[in-house]
A and B are shown apart, each in its own frame.
Chain A
Amino acid sequence: MGDSGRQIGIVQSLASLMRGWGTLLLMSGFAGAGLTLWLGLLWAPSVSIDAFEAPVAQKIFYWHVPSAWAAMIAFTLLFIGSLAWFFKRREWGWNLHVASAEASLAFGMMAVWSGCIWGAAEWGVPWDWTDVRLNTFALLTLLAIFLVLGRKSQPDGIETRDTFATFGIYGFILVPLTYFATRFWQIRHPGPVIATSEGSLNSDMGMVLAIGAISFTMLVLGHIICGIRLTKMESRLLDIQDTIDKEGI
């Protein structure tokens, strides 16, 4: 077997490995997300009725926090992919950018939507335009919408990729800003309850939240791995179509 044959063999093995791992992570993550919701609804203890206006609605926390966590992972991978494409012209960087932008959008929307449901029950309004955490996270999700829709509406090319990669790089500044927002400017969004000395999370609640965080991490990684594979296949199909057009086969 020649060098090119060996390379094709390696690429095919990697593709099938990605497919297997991607699907496994997706399925396990999805099962874990279902288990988290079931435990959150029926097993996890309720919060004190004195501390919250809507104690039952607080249980949406088991969906909201893991989805926001998964969105942050996706935004970080989007940043890494954008850097790898913009500075090193790595094809894997662009594939990672595309897959992470889609995952960022989906998980960002889940966090925003679940937050609005909780806000409506607890605060009486679904959104607070003066809260820094809410608005920086919404800007991140809007950035993901722009990247996903923008890429779909533009022909693929170096200029297009550079433009979107630049947004992926500069937009990342919102990730640490969102993370630290409730530490510096706590307005309406609750402050941190884990990884802080002020946290007061019950151990059972912490366990359900940990199952949720692990499951959503698996889900987001599964989606990104499958997304990378999809982007690769789309590029391959476009290349073949170009070859057919040029050679008039």
Chain B
Amino acid sequence: MEDTIYLAVAYIGMLTGLAIWTWTVLSRSNNLEARLAAVEASLNNSEE
């Protein structure tokens, strides 16, 4: 039983690590997209 708990903790830890990394990539992507859109919008405004 102790071995199974050890394995389950290892599994959950690894899955959590993977989830955090995946979330970080998606969040970085959304953040960059918003920054890019804002910069492009401000450039268009200054050109007009």
Known contacts: A57-B3, A110-B14. The answer to whether A237 contacts B36 by CB under 8 A is yes
In the bound complex, residues from chain A placing their C-beta under 8 Å from that of B6 are 56-57, 121
B43 and A230 within 8 A (CB): no
Interface flags for A235-247 (1: CB within 8 Å of B; 0: not) read 0110011011000
B10 to A117, Cβ gap below 8 A?
A: yes
Q: Decide if A226 touches B14 in the complex (CB within 8 Å).
A: no
Do residues B14 and A227 form an inter-chain contact, with CB atoms below 8 A? no
What 0/1 pattern do residues 3 to 26 of B give for CB contact below 8 A with A?
A: 110111011001101110110011
- How many A-B contacts at CB < 8 Å in the complex? 74
Q: Is the CB of A244 within 8 A of B43?
A: yes
B44 vs chain A, min Cβ distance (A): 11
- Identify whether the interface residues of A are mostly helix, strand, loop, or mixed: helix
Q: Contact: B3 with A56, CB < 8 Å?
A: yes
| Contact of A37 with B11 in the complex, beta carbons under 8 Å | yes
Q: Is the CB of B40 within 8 A of A240?
A: yes
* CB-CB contacts below 8 Å: A5-58 with B: 19, 23, 26, 30, 33-34, 37, 40-41, 54, 56-57
Q: Which residues of A contact B (CB under 8 A)?
A: 19, 23, 26, 30, 33-34, 37, 40-41, 54, 56-57, 59-60, 63, 106, 110, 113-114, 117, 121, 219, 223, 226-227, 229-230, 233-234, 236-237, 240-241, 243-244, 249
Interface residues of B (CB under 8 A from A): 3-4, 6-8, 10-11, 14-15, 17-19, 21-22, 25-26, 28-29, 32-33, 35-36, 39-40, 43, 46
24 pairs, CB–CB < 8 Å, chain A vs chain B: A19-B29, A23-B26, A26-B22, A26-B25, A30-B22, A33-B18, A37-B15, A41-B4, A56-B4, A57-B3, A57-B7, A60-B10, A63-B14, A121-B3, A219-B18, A230-B25, A230-B28, A233-B33, A236-B36, A240-B43, A241-B39, A243-B43, A249-B43, A249-B46
